[in-house]
């Protein structure tokens, strides 16, 4: 395009020579300016991609877990040598199940039960969490004592990392947590098909554990669920009621102006300040329990309220005045006009705003740290008053763990969190598409 | 009968009152609904409100006040030497008493008799029922526990009786008022309006709660540490809170934390403002609608990703990457493979935070740039300016106040951001200018002072509230000023 106006392209006879207004330079500047814009957008999108890729590439392996499937002999000599289980049921709870598993694996690997050093290394292949696994099996069905069952034992976290190829095996033996002999056994087991990756249901159901292979987000999911429920039950009605008042009833005076400014500011208050509020008011003053999802839910409710109020007011404002005029003209009271006509028409917008507010609350971490949700909780909370954690807090705790296998867990948990957020946001978009009405 | 059964009974009373009110209204009108002032449902709702609202208020008040009264009554029965002890150990004693009281209720009557007669040992007995007591109870505690149980039972009985009486009284009162010309709808709507007002004042209450809760704790802090030492101190060294230790007072200087906060915030803004602004300009002025409809939501995904994910990204990807690349550069330059960027550093935290802030700058500025009137652009283009000249010389100056407002709002986010800096900025509170070294922020210190065991009497805990109110004040000022600018700007073109 610029060629057309360069002096060379214009026949000298056809027109007088044009004054040089630096058009070339100016057009170059124009192109540069555009390029900056494209570069800026690409920069943002590049980092979005990098962020997601780094999480997914680190985390997708967390949904598979290495197990060792071998025949396990539930030997009576180890579990209950003195045959006391009829008289003392606690005997089965405290039996030496790790030895049962170790001996079974030693048998498969052909290690003599007298070779203590080798047995210790055999034990290093399996997770400590098989204690509960085997115990639960025996307690559910004590008849299996004395029989041999094929059991999938959870492999140790180090074995899991090596089997997934996350550990550099060229490093000297003394600098690794797994010895060459153990690696040899792993290859042996893997060749026979005993050592294999299975879908890791544990990450969804297990509670906190100091062993990465047995750690899961089960407790955190329940805690987050309770909190979302509390936020929904409290923030939606209160937010809608407040917006209706401000949008439809409030007289224009100092007080409503104050509320207006207030809500706008509350939406911009750093989330950690809400944590301080929760700590001082709900825990210190009202005496609610620490680490409880009830307190977390209340704090997140206060945090989400401004978002919902702002969205609801926008939705109410979008309903045309003709609807109100028609209802009022037919003799409806103001209250009837709003609750029978305006509110139902504004509902899609309100719900969209609520879902977005909920998604925001689901990913919020900082205020929850202050009210003691950073807790090692292994048991499911049965009520919102029980100690629990939340999904983002669980991610925070795992991110602080040093072990390699926890990086994978953390990324896995982030994938779960992002999937939840994706579902909520897509839901909000679909809701808007489906019910949006242009007046 | 416990509180949840009471609530169930109240719910049943509510349903019954609604039905009764509706029926009576219909019956009084003799089937001619045109004779009634309001529709039958409103009469029902009126009776329902009278039955439940006063009862619920009484219930809430009783639940809030009765434990306090019982508490003080039980404590006044403590022996002299216990009451002479400091408040903390009294609370401990009361805690044990209430545990014993709870434990006594799970025992069978025979066991309870043995325990009160002193023939059975309380602690192992309760432990076998899953109630663990902190220490061996003293004799006065047993008595106090029984008093506590007695008082609680009395209080609960009184509560149930009063609440039910109020509910039924209200029901009857409202039921008798129903008449065909009675303006039930207006009454019900008044109550609804009241509820709406209460809901909207929760926003005010939240602000008041924030300010008062933080102020009261912060004032308590300032009685232990002078305000001048906090605001102008240059050393942050809070030490540990040792119970009762007098020499555990540390130094609480705000300046290093504030310096770190502002430094990291500045790095973040240095990334976010140019990128966000250029994205906004491109989206608003150049992009085709199709490109815009894809790129804008994608860029806004950055704002929807939780900050903990950014923190993890900084901790595991950006930090190590910068560390390794700096080591490589150093090797090329000096032949010494030694990193000069720490994995946790100002630059790591600031850069990742900047990425997070891009969509805030871009979508706010986008709105503002689009709001600049078309006529200004047309005038400039008509005079022969290129598009970029129009943007630089006409559109941006016109939009400048709004953009400044947007940048201030983004800056307040950067200052209040927590999770990224907790994971990526480090915890060392020091004052220095090297962006490749770790620094710490106000938010990091709030988190680190408040995780773990808390004691609301030590300056180590209370300092978090002083930090919190500082943070709140800074962000509040930034936001109010930004809102003011944006509002003023908007009026200019309306």
Contact call for A45 and B299, based on CB within 8 A: yes
Q: Has residue A391 got a pLDDT over 90? A: yes
For A277, other C-beta atoms within 10 Å of its C-beta total: 28
H/E run at residue B476: helix B459-492
In Å, how far is A30's CA from the nearest CA of chain B?
A: 5
Q: Which of A48, A265, A425 sits opposite B476 (nearest CB)?
A: A265
Residue of A37, A245, A269 with shortest CB distance to B286? A37
Q: Chain A contacts of B307, Cβ < 8 Å? A: 363, 365-366
**Residues present in chain A in total:** 439
Query: What does pTM read for this prediction?
Result: 0.87
φ, ψ dihedrals at B58, nearest 5°:
-60, -45
> Do residue B419 and residue A418 have CB atoms under 8 angstroms apart?
no
Q: Please tell me the least confidently modeled range out of A21-35, A105-119, B121-135, B326-340.
A: B121-135
Structure tokens at A405: 């296998």
| Out of A98-102, B55-59, B238-242, B427-431, least confident range | B238-242
Tell me whether residues B362 and A44 touch, CB distance under 8 A.
yes
At residue B251, the 3 state secondary structure works out as strand
| Mean pLDDT value of segment A24-43 | 94
* Whether A272 and B298 lie within 8 Å, measured CB to CB: no
- String of b and e for A191-200 (b: at least 16 CB within 10 Å)? eeebbbbeeb
Res A231: pLDDT: 95
Tell if the CB–CB gap between A29 and B447 is shorter than 8 Å.
no
Sorted by where each begins, the domain ranges of chain B are: 3-182, 237-492
Per-residue confidence band for A262, with pLDDT thresholds at 50, 70 and 90:
confident
CA distance A58 to chain B (A): 10
Rounded CA separation B10/B51 (Å): 9
The alpha carbon of residue A174 is apart from the nearest alpha carbon of chain B, in Å, by: 24
Q: From CA A100, how far away is CA A106, in angstroms rounded?
A: 10
The better pLDDT of the pair A372, B362 is held by B362
Closest residue in chain A to residue B410, using alpha carbons only = A268
Contact A326, A403 (CB under 8 A): no
Distance CA B340, CA B299 (A): 32
CB contact under 8 A, B416 and A395: no
Contact A366 B456 (CB under 8 A): no
Here the contacts of A158-163 (C-beta below 8 Å, separation 24 or greater) are A158/A124, A158/A405, A159/A66, A159/A125, A159/A186, A159/A195, A160/A65, A160/A66, A160/A212, A160/A213, A160/A405, A161/A404, A161/A405, A161/A408, A162/A186, A163/A66, A163/A190, A163/A195, A163/A197
Of A43, A242, A272, the CB nearest to B443: A272
Cα dihedral sign for B93, B98, B102, B104? positive
Burial class of residue B23 (count of CB atoms within 10 Å of its CB; 0-12, 13-18, 19+):
middle
**Most confident residue range from A65-79, B17-31, B387-401:** B387-401
Q: Evaluate if residue B486 carries a pLDDT over 60.
A: yes
Question: Of B206, B286, B446, which to mutate for an interface test with A (greatest number of A Cβ within 10 Å)?
Answer: B206
Token pair of B74 as six digits: 């039980």
Whole-angstrom CA distances from B17 to B6, B54, B168, B187 are 16, 14, 9, 16
Residues forming CATH 1.10.3720.10 domain(s) in chain A: 218-435
Instruction: Count the neighbouring beta carbons within 10 Å of the beta carbon of residue B263.
Output: 21
Size of interface A-B (CB pairs under 8 A): 247
CATH class for the domain made up of B237-492:
mainly alpha
pLDDT of residue B120: 61
Q: What is the pLDDT of residues B77-132, one digit of tens each?
A: 777 777 777 776 777 777 778 878 877 777 777 777 777 666 567 777 777 666 67
Distance of residue B149 Cα from the nearest chain A Cα, in angstroms? 20
Check A395 against B305: CB less than 8 A apart. Answer: no
Instruction: Name every chain B residue with its beta carbon within 8 A of the beta carbon of A42.
Output: none
Neighboring chain A residues of B292 at a CB cutoff of 8 Å: none
A217: which 2 tokens? 């987000």
Nearest-Cα distance to chain A for B8, in Å, is 19
The CATH code that applies to domain A218-435 is: 1.10.3720.10
pLDDT value of position A42: 95
Answer whether residue B234 shows pLDDT above 80: yes
Pick the residue from chain B with its C-alpha nearest to A245. B196
This model of the complex carries an ipTM of: 0.88
- Closest by Cβ to A47, choosing from B355, B387, B423: B355
Rounded to a whole number, what is the distance in Å from the CA of B461 to chain A's nearest CA? Answer: 11
Task: Tell me which chain A residues have a C-beta less than 8 angstroms from the C-beta of B196.
Answer: 241-242, 244-245, 249
Interchain proximity B200–A245, CB inside 8 Å: yes
Give the pLDDT confidence score for residue A84 in this predicted structure: 73
Rank A257-271, A334-348, A378-392 by mean pLDDT and report only the highest: A334-348
Q: Which residues of A touch B200 (CB under 8 A)?
A: 241-243, 245-246, 250, 259
Quote the pLDDT of residue A417.
95
The shortest C-alpha distance from A84 to chain B (Å) reads 22
Torsion angle of the four alpha carbons A180, A185, A186, A190, in this order, in degrees rounded to the nearest 10 = 150
Tell me whether residues A335 and B192 touch, CB distance under 8 A: yes
Query: Which among A268, A314, A358, A426 is the top mutation candidate for probing chain B, defined by the most B β-carbons within 10 Å of its own β-carbon?
Result: A268
| Two structure tokens written together for A310 | 């702002």
Residue A1 confidence (pLDDT): 45
From the number of C-beta atoms within 10 Å of its C-beta (0-12, 13-18, 19+), residue A314 rates as: middle
Contacts A51 to B, Cβ<8 Å: 305, 309-310, 313, 355
B470, closest residue in chain A (CA to CA): A273
Contacts of B474 in chain A (CB under 8 A): none
Cα dihedral A337, A342, A345, A351 in deg (nearest 10)? -130
pLDDT by residue (tens digit) across B260-286? 999 999 999 999 999 999 999 999 999
């Amino acid at each position: 395009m610029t060629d057309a106006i360069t002096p060379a392209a214009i026949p000298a006879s056809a027109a007088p020579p044009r004054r040089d207004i630096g058009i070339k330079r100016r057009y170059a500047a124009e192109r540069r300016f555009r390029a900056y814009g494209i570069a800026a957008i690409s920069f943002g999108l590049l980092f979005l991609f990098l962020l997601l890729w780094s999480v997914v590439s680190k985390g997708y392996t967390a949904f598979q877990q290495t197990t060792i499937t071998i025949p396990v002999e539930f030997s009576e000599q180890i579990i209950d040598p003195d045959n006391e289980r009829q008289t003392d049921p606690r005997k089965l709870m405290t039996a030496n199940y790790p030895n049962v598993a170790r001996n079974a694996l030693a048998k498969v690997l052909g290690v003599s039960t007298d070779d203590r050093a080798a047995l210790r290394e055999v034990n290093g292949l399996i997770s400590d969490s098989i204690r509960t696994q085997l115990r639960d099996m025996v307690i559910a069905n004590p008849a299996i004592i004395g029989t041999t069952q094929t059991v999938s034992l959870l492999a140790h976290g180090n074995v899991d990392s090596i089997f997934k190829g996350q550990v550099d095996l060229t490093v000297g033996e003394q600098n690794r947590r797994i010895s060459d002999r153990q690696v040899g056994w792993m290859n042996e087991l893997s060749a026979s098909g005993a050592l294999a990756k299975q879908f890791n249901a544990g990450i969804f159901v297990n509670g906190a554990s100091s062993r990465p292979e047995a750690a899961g987000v089960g407790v955190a999911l329940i805690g987050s669920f309770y909190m979302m429920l509390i936020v929904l039950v409290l923030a939606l009605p209160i937010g809608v009621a407040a917006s209706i008042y401000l949008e439809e009833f409030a007289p224009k005076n100092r007080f409503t102006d104050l509320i207006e400014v207030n809500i706008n500011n509350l939406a911009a208050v750093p989330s950690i300040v809400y944590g301080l509020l929760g700590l001082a008011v709900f825990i210190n003053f009202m005496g609610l329990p620490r680490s409880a999802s009830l307190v977390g839910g209340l704090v997140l409710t206060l945090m989400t309220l401004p978002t919902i109020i702002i969205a609801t007011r926008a939705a109410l404002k979008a309903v045309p005045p003709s609807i109100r005029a028609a209802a009022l003209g037919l003799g409806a009271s103001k209250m009837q006009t709003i609750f029978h006509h305006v509110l139902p028409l504004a509902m899609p917008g309100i719900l969209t705003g609520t879902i977005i507010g909920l998604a925001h609350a689901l990913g919020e971490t900082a205020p929850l740290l202050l009210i003691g949700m950073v807790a090692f909780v292994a048991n499911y909370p049965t009520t919102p008053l029980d100690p629990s954690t939340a999904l983002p807090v669980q991610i925070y705790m795992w991110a602080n763990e040093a072990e390699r296998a926890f990086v994978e867990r953390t990324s896995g948990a982030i994938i779960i969190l992002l999937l939840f957020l994706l579902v909520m946001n897509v839901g909000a978009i679909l809701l808007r598409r489906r019910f949006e009405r242009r007046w | 009968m416990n509180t949840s059964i009471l609530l169930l009974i109240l719910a049943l009373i509510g349903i019954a009152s609604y039905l009764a009110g509706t029926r009576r209204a219909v019956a009084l009108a003799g089937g001619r609904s045109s004779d009634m002032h309001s529709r039958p449902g409103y009469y029902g709702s009126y009776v329902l409100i009278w039955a439940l609202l006063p009862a619920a208020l009484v219930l809430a008040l009783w639940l809030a006040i009765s434990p306090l009264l019982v508490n003080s009554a039980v404590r006044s029965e403590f022996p002299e030497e216990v009451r002479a002890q400091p408040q903390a150990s009294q609370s401990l004693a009361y805690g044990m008493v209430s545990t014993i009281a709870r434990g006594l209720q799970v025992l069978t009557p025979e066991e309870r008799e043995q325990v009160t007669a002193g023939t059975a040992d309380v602690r192992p007995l309760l432990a076998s029922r899953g109630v663990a007591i902190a220490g061996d109870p003293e004799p006065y505690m047993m008595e106090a526990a029984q008093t506590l149980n007695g008082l609680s039972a009395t209080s609960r009985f009184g509560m149930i009786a009063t609440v039910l009486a109020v509910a039924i009284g209200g029901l009857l009162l409202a039921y008798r008022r129903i008449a065909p010309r009675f303006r039930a709808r207006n009454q019900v709507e008044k109550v609804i309006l009241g509820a709406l007002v209460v809901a909207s004042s929760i926003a005010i209450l939240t602000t008041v709660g924030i300010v008062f809760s933080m102020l009261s704790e912060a004032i308590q802090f300032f009685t232990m540490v002078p305000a001048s030492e906090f605001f102008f101190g240059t050393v942050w060294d809070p030490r540990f809170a040792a119970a009762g230790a007098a020499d555990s007072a540390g130094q609480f200087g705000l300046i290093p934390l504030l310096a770190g906060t502002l430094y990291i915030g500045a790095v973040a803004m240095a990334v976010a403002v140019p990128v966000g602004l250029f994205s906004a300009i491109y989206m608003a002025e150049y992009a085709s609608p199709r490109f815009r409809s894809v790129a804008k939501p994608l860029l806004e995904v950055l704002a929807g990703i939780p900050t903990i994910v950014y923190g993890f990204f900084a901790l595991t990807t950006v930090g190590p990457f910068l560390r390794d690349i700096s080591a490589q550069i150093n090797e090329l330059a000096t032949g010494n493979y030694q990193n000069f960027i720490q994995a946790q550093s100002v630059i790591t935290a600031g850069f990742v935070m900047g990425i997070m802030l891009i969509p805030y700058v871009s979508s706010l500025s986008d709105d503002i740039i689009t709001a600049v009137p078309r006529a200004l652009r047309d005038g400039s283009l008509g005079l022969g300016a290129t598009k970029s000249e129009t943007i630089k010389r006409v559109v941006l100056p016109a939009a400048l106040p709004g953009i400044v407002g947007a940048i201030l709002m983004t800056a307040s986010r950067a200052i209040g951001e927590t999770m990224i800096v907790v994971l990526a900025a480090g915890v060392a509170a020091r004052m220095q200018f090297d962006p490749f070294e770790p620094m710490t922020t106000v938010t990091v210190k709030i988190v680190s002072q408040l995780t773990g065991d808390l004691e609301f009497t030590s300056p180590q805990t209370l300092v978090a509230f002083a930090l919190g109110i500082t943070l709140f004040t800074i962000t509040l000022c930034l936001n109010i000023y930004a809102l003011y600018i944006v509002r003023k700007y908007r009026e200019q073109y309306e």
